[in-house]
Amino acid sequence: MRRLLTVLAAGVPLAAAVYLPTASAETKDSTATLFTCAAPSVKAPAGTKVESVTAVNKEGGTINGTGVLGGSVSGVPAYCEVTVTLTHPGDGDHAKVRTWLPANGWNGRFQGLGGAAYLAGDNGVGLGTAVKNGYAAVSTDAGVGDALDTSWALNGEGRVDTALLKNFASRSQHEAAVVGKEVVDAVYGKRPAYSYFTGCSTGGRQGYMEAQRHPDDYDGILADAPAVNWDEFEIATLWPQVVMSNEKTYPSQCEFKAFTDAAVKACDSLDGVKDGLVNDASRCDFDPRRLVGTKVVCDGKELTITSADATVVRKIWDGPRTTSGKKLWYGVPVGADIWALAGHSEPDADGNVTGAPFPVPAAWAKLWVAKDPSLDLSKITYAGFTQLFQQSQAEYDKVIGTDDPDLSDFRKSGGKLLTWHGEADQYIPTQGTVQYRQKVERELGGTKKVDDFYRLFLAPGTNHCGLNGAAGSADGLAALTAWVEHGKAPKTLPATLIDADGQNVTRDLCSYPQVSRYKGSGDPAVASSFRCVSPSRH
């Protein structure tokens, strides 16, 4: 259980490291390739120097994922692992770029893999899964550490290590794409026919960064639950802790669940049927004050919901605001697990409670924004929160914000961008992704023009990276390859979701801005009982 909690703290459910997208599109080139696993000569990407190149034959079998994410993949065929170590002269960094090449049955495609939390690349499970599916695959560690390792944030003088932050934020994924394709060409004697990038969370953000800054790197990008707007949402996800400490009210996990369950119940039928899923969480306007005075049983004890509890939940759902009431960012989506960001200790003998902030935003606030590892987050006032939020924006938007809406070069290059995001994402507010898509529409001429190359699908009742197997599944990579290689733009994305009772239901996720609506008859657990419609105004 502790390992699972650690993995959740990394911002990606355990299953996301186990179940990865598999492209069920047909193999392009399964012919035997003249194959020698030897260290190729690699030309250094612009601004870098190659420190070393190694090549090792690997037998395959079961690959166990490294670090806190763990996971495993079995049945991996033999492959060649080429490792290229890069440095940026003067920066003292050492980034390892690993390319895995199947010894037989390469499908002619190339896949770049993103990271999770502060892990810049893959822990082995994604690479193994890609090779198993016939891809040559690449991943980079960007010269930083594991998912929760932030030891690289500050240098010896207590200043932000800007070189490593730049690696993590943008340049390492591009360099991995350049090096990986060069390695493929050297080993197989030809370049990939098609190149894809896949990632969720931090990996999703990296996919968007590639589309924005290096539009020619990939033909197709699958970037899910993307951590775009990093400078805003990382601070915003500390808001639940700030609210509880300032209101001096710490609802229990059970009480938070009571509010969430009541909201889901109240908003369930917005899509025309009670099916245990809130179809459009942004339209759910359930008022938590309706629960004041209600009794809930938690761990055998009967508790009464207070107005103070309701105030805390209302502020958490609403999201961070300045002291004058100006909205700064989006809150925890209605239907998401509030406890993920609002965790805390049990009261001690004197009734004191200690907040347990989610480690990813906690590290961002302390190390990169405040540059003070000893910063006491429990002492942040509402005014102090606004200051921290605005400082993060001012210093890091251009570095790691990843919210540039000008995707015109990516569109010109013929690239395709596909994203799904869970409506009950407890770590990255779904509305941040929706807002980004709206900005792209304003920049590039409206919904239809953007749909030509970029589609967003929202998954009801689904948590962070949840369609990677923890709370359902969807084969986004198969949809993306069909779009890139055959021009079949996905009108819907078939998915398996988990309803409020923990049962599997099938849904065809609608392409934003459309939403799913019950047809009026048919089994609510089956996708064919729903259709996609334009959202009603309210």
Catalytic position from the list 139, 170, 201, 392: 201
Contact 513, 534 (CB under 8 A): yes
What does the alpha-carbon distance between residue 281 and residue 515 come to, in Å, rounded to a whole number? 11
Catalytic position from the list 392, 464, 473, 508: 464
CA nearest to 421, candidates 358, 510, 530, 516? 510
Contact 409, 214 (CB under 8 A): no
What does the alpha-carbon distance between residue 413 and residue 511 come to, in Å, rounded to a whole number? 22
- The reply to whether 409 belongs to the active site is no
Cis amide linkage into residue 513, ω under 30° from 0 = yes
User: Rounded to 5 degrees, what angle do the CA atoms 531, 534, 538 make?
Assistant: 125
Element (H, E) at 448: helix 447-451
What does the alpha-carbon distance between residue 510 and residue 221 come to, in Å, rounded to a whole number? 19
What does the alpha-carbon distance between residue 519 and residue 534 come to, in Å, rounded to a whole number? 14
Contact 514, 448 (CB under 8 A): no
- Structure tokens given for 470: 């923890």
- The reply to whether 425 belongs to the active site is yes
User: How many other CB atoms are there within 10 angstroms of residue 189's CB atom?
Assistant: 11
What does the alpha-carbon distance between residue 481 and residue 24 come to, in Å, rounded to a whole number? 9
What does the alpha-carbon distance between residue 416 and residue 205 come to, in Å, rounded to a whole number? 15
Contact 214, 411 (CB under 8 A): no
Q: Is 285 left (phi over 0), alpha (psi -120 to 50) or beta?
A: alpha
What does the alpha-carbon distance between residue 222 and residue 220 come to, in Å, rounded to a whole number? 7
Catalytic position from the list 425, 475, 499, 508: 425
| Residue for token pair 């090779």 | 131
Phi, then psi, of 203 in degrees rounded to 5: -60, -35
C-alpha torsion 120→233→315→259, nearest 10: -40
- The reply to whether 464 belongs to the active site is yes
Which are the contacts of 2, defined by CB distance < 8 A and separation ≥ 6? none
Q: Which residues are catalytic?
A: 201, 425, 464
